[in-house]
Amino acid sequence: MYIVHNYTLAVIFCFITMLCWGSWGNTQKLAARTWRYEFFYWDYVIGVLLFSILAAFTLGSTGTEGRSFMVDLAQADPANLGKAFLGGVVFNTANILLSAAIALCGMSVAFPVGIGLALVLGVLINYFGEAKGDPTYIFLGVVLITIAIIFNALAYKKAQSGTRQVSRSGILTAIAAGVIMAFFYRFVAASMDMNFAAPAPGKLTPYTALFIFAVGIFVSTFILNTIAMKKPIAGEPASIRDYFRGNLKTHLVGVLGGVIWCIGQLLSLIASGTAGAAISYGLGQGATLVSALWGILVWHEFRQAPAVSTKLNVGMFVFFLAGLGLLIYAGA
């Protein structure tokens, strides 16, 4: 299977993860013009599962190092399969809430609040699960990123003042998504042996872990997204019959969103063997910066905001970049 040994390349992979995780939400925004997020989510999950299978039988089954996908799957301990599967269920719960938050308050708010919170908590959880990297710089980076999240929340509050009522349900939904999402990566990382070249018996390689993780997402969607359709956070209850009325282009946009996110997840898992789970996860969740840029520059979610909101958003980017820089330095 394909393995990364170089730290610089691992960091590059983490930055690609950041771009993927920060950009998939655009597909939901595109589909949302005529499509409810609950319907979009079915296609998104299909995209995640399809790419995990493609990765398993290509990168995960070539090369001379490590175990190939089918061999690794056959020898896997049920407990480790369960951890990766549970990681998918936890992620799915959080991501459905995040999708709802995007629909309620936009990308430039839902991502910084939800994913920013997931970054802060997730880095701490993954570091204590597998201590790798300089803790001083890791924790300083987390502090700066926390300040960036506060700046974004203040920018949103100022932008809404005197125009339209703040979507409190959107903010609360994003917070709930962030707290839950902070835990998914730890389950997946715990199922793997971080020595990918010679993994311990019973442990998973990144490609097997990604596939089982995707299966967890796919299976749990039938429960979680059905609940979201029957008891939506916003709008009227939806029927599965309406999903099948969507055209092929709309469905493919959702599948593309899932593929984009899953590419990021795969690269993050591959990089974690060299960079460590805490740093790999933390850099990937810098997706907040990317999504905020999309929301501000492309979707114009702060179009009528006062000047103070612009200043606060600039401050958010400065602190976020400084925090990500410290995370990179911590692993170097």
Domain boundaries, the chain: 7-331
What is the phi/psi pair of residue 206, to 5°? -60, -35
The pLDDT assigned to 331 comes to 80
Mean pLDDT value across residues 20-42:
85
Residue 161 has a pLDDT of: 64
- Can you say whether the dihedral through the CA atoms of 172, 262, 200, 79 is positive or negative? positive
**Helix (H/G/I), strand (E/B), else coil: 15:** helix
Average pLDDT score over residue span 153-166: 67
**Averaged over 217-244, what is the pLDDT?**
90
Average pLDDT over every residue of 285-310: 81
Please tell me the predicted confidence (pLDDT) of residue 55.
98
Is pLDDT above 60 for 163? Answer: no
Q: What is the pLDDT of residue 154?
A: 81
For residue 319, the Cα-to-chain-centroid distance in whole angstroms is: 20
Rounded CA-CA distance 222/211 in Å is: 18
Return phi, psi of residue 204, to 5°.
-105, 155
Q: Mark out the alpha helices in 111-205 (DSSP H runs).
A: 116-129, 135-160, 168-181, 184-190
What's residue 10's pLDDT? 94
The percentage of the chain sitting over the pLDDT mark of 90, rounded to a whole number, equals 52
Question: Of 162 and 195, which is predicted with more confidence?
Answer: 195
Predicted TM-score of the model (pTM): 0.87
Rounded to an integer, what distance in angstroms lies between the CA atom of residue 103 and that of residue 123?
27
pLDDT: which is higher, 69 or 309 = 69
Confidence (pLDDT) at 53: 98
